[in-house]
Amino acid sequence: MAWDFSTDPEFQKKLDWVEQFCRDEVEPLGYLFPHAVRLPDPHVRALVKDLQQQVKDQDLWAIFLDEELGGPGYGQLKLGLLNEILGRYPAAPQLFGAAAPDTGNMEMLAAHGTEEQKKRWLEPLINQEMFSAYSMTEPQGGSDPNLFKTHALRDGDEWVISGEKWFTSAGRVADILFVMCTNGMFVVPRDTPGVEIMPEPRNHNHIIYNDVRVPLDHLLGPENGAKVLAQRRLGGGRIHHAMRTIAQCKLAFDMMCERALSRESHGKIIGEHQMVQEKIAESYASINMLRLYVLETAWKIDNSSTQETRTDIAAVKFTMAKVLREVSFNALHILGSLGTTDLTPIQEMYAAAPTMGLADGVDEVHIATVARRVLKEYTPHDGYWPTEYIPAKREEAWEKFKPRFDANPDLLKVAEGYRDYLAKRR
């Protein structure tokens, strides 16, 4: 049997180091300097560089990339185990060189970029000398590429991009924008004339591209290949979101259990009340089921590809939002009035749960995708009755046993006796 639910001892040492490092160094930094990686202050920059060098010394920098692209090449399963820790600390992904939206954009560049494009954009992104954003969804079409209108026209030695993008996360602070057009994926420097970033929303930006001109070599991958690039990017992004969601669920669960043992109600600690116990037990089971499913999906990706694992990636995607919503609500409820404030992470976590059901494609689309792909593996039955129709199964069994009954009349008598018994029961 090849089944194994243990972690390689050497890699467990890495995980132990990451957990200690995040608790001792990353968490305090995040409370004092929430956006430390992007802050220009030289004192903060020096602090960040020192921490990042410690990560690099552990061979944990840019953990999502293959070895030849500047990362350690751990694969998705090990990345899942690491993200179970990193996802608990908001500052951790950037300090480990593994923060979205840069991660997905780097994967696209690594897979589809020319050597010149990798030199110009991939290397600086890996080294955090620049930052990027992904400009995909549109006001009128959401995340459905069949409804997109943003288009690039070739004019001499330039592309002219015109259109409107909605919810470009971190677009305002990005150096380059990966713009998905109806006829290709383009890299657009944010300060290019014609790039107009609207005042709202502040963090997930509404951007208008007014005849934005970029050189021909700013097309990433083949012309008309945007959908292929986007699927590669989003497939990896969805499983990474799920990995970090487990960490958030565990954080909510830890807070829930601590509170259940710390507060009293009606003469006993609230953890002794059955309704609180129910929330704890259901949350525990939900988190562990999600965790095992995410790790299994990561293992499948490592042993095949994101394309071949699309069904499981889609199922993980809509499951993680549901589990985060349920667990964070249970934690909020058990914390009581404190859970409704911004004095703990719970309120932000619960508010983020609906977003997780929308980001990288709405859950309903993924649910439909899973159903369609699963149903392709089945065929309709003939006639009125399904395959598991018991009377038909019993007739088949009689036919199968007929040679044995002919050779052993006593066995036939036993079978007939049981058949008669069943007939009388009706």
CATH fit for domain 9-113, picks 3.60.15.10, 3.40.50.20, 1.10.540.10, 1.10.10.10: 1.10.540.10
Looking at residue 270, its pLDDT comes to 97
pLDDT digits (tens, 9 = 90+) for 108-162: 999 899 999 999 999 999 999 999 999 999 999 888 899 999 999 999 999 999 9
Could you write out the DSSP letters of every residue in 64-91? TS-GGGTS----HHHHHHHHHHHTTSTT
How far is CA 387 from its chain centroid? 37
* Number of other residues whose CB lies within 10 A of the CB of residue 316: 24
DSSP state of 156: T
CATH fold for domain 227-375 = Butyryl-CoA Dehydrogenase, subunit A; domain 3 (1.20.140)
Domain boundaries, the chain: 9-113, 130-220, 227-375, 390-425
Q: Which helix (H) or strand (E) holds 268?
A: strand 268-269
In tens, the pLDDT along 17-58 reads 999 999 999 999 999 999 999 999 999 999 999 999 999 999
What is residue 361's predicted lDDT score, i.e. its pLDDT? 83
CA distance 226 to 161: 14
Match 């018991």 to its residue by tokens. Answer: 390
Note if the pTM is more than 0.75.
yes
Q: Measured between alpha carbons, how far is 177 from 191 in angstroms, rounded to an integer?
A: 10
Per-residue pLDDT band for 426 (boundaries 50, 70, 90) equals: confident
Q: Topology of 130-220 in CATH?
A: Butyryl-CoA Dehydrogenase, subunit A; domain 2 (2.40.110)
Q: How are beta strands 176-181 and 132-135 bridged, if at all?
A: parallel
Please spell the DSSP secondary structure of 38-70, one letter per residue: G---HHHHHHHHHHHHHHHHTT-TTTTS-GGGT
Q: How confident is the model at residue 359 (pLDDT cuts 50, 70, 90)?
A: confident
Q: Report pLDDT digits (tens) over 186-213.
A: 999 999 999 999 999 999 999 999 999 9
Q: What percent of the chain has pLDDT over 70?
A: 99
Cβ 210 vs Cβ 85: under 8 Å: no
Helix or strand (DSSP H, E) at 250: helix 226-260
Identify the bridge partners of residue 162 per DSSP, sorted by sequence position: 151
